[in-house]
Amino acid sequence: MKLVVISPESDEPREHAVLAALFSAGLARYHVRKPYWSQEKLSTWLNVVPTQWRSRLVLHQCHELAVELGCGGVHFKEVGRVIPNPPEWLRRVKDNAPYLFTSRSCHDIQTLGTALGNYDAVFFSPIFPSISKLGYRPTVDPVTVAERLSHRTNEERKTEVIALGGITPATVARCDELGFDGVAVLGALWQSAEPVKVFDALQQSLSSHVA
């Protein structure tokens, strides 16, 4: 299973130092989600990241910076559950940047079905009660999710389905049982006084409990 980390929304003084430690510890994909930042502020933040690590970054906004600064991918959030597959912007960019990793958010089974096969990865959330968003709880029965994942076609399986929401070292094994291809962590890591230790614990959980 894949282990993905999502950035905190706002300024986090520890972020660059923690990110360097996570990359050194083997993190392959870091989602940069800063919804309230200007493009200028995000560009300044990205320029601090060493160039050898930028291919591991996936941007959630200001997607044009991904090509400009050598980031590895772009992510599309779900607004009204309507996202063209793939978005027109992405079709144009892919002509010049075919390497770009693509992902999107999904919150229900029907939308998940329309995304499978059209993106490299999909975040399905919340799979457990969210840690970072109080009161944000699952609206889809996990058994229903597992049923849909088990019936994916070969083409649909080209899209990784990543569990998001309430991910901790204790919930990783359950995500594997449900048939997810990976997990994405946010609250459990950034609300910790020692985020790198949380990352290490997640990696150990993946290796110990997931076949």
Complete domains list, the chain, with CATH: 2-209 (3.20.20.70)
Scanning the structure block, which residue is given the tokens 């200007």? 38
Please name the helix (run of DSSP H) or strand (run of DSSP E) that holds residue 161, with its range, or none.
Answer: strand 160-164
Would you state the pLDDT for residue 35? 94
Neighbouring C-beta atoms of residue 23, cutoff 10 Å: 17
Across 28-45, average pLDDT:
97
Please give the mean pLDDT across all residues of the chain: 91
The reported pLDDT for the residue numbered 125 is: 93
* Least confident window among 93-102, 120-129, 153-162: 93-102
Residue appearing with tokens 């970072």: 132
Q: Name which of 114, 135, 139, 146 is nearest 125 in CA terms.
A: 139
How many angstroms separate the CA atoms of 144 and 95, rounded?
A: 37
80 pLDDT higher than 90: no
Model confidence band, residue 195 (pLDDT cutoffs 50, 70, 90):
very high
Token pair 């079905």: residue: 113
pLDDT at site 138: 84
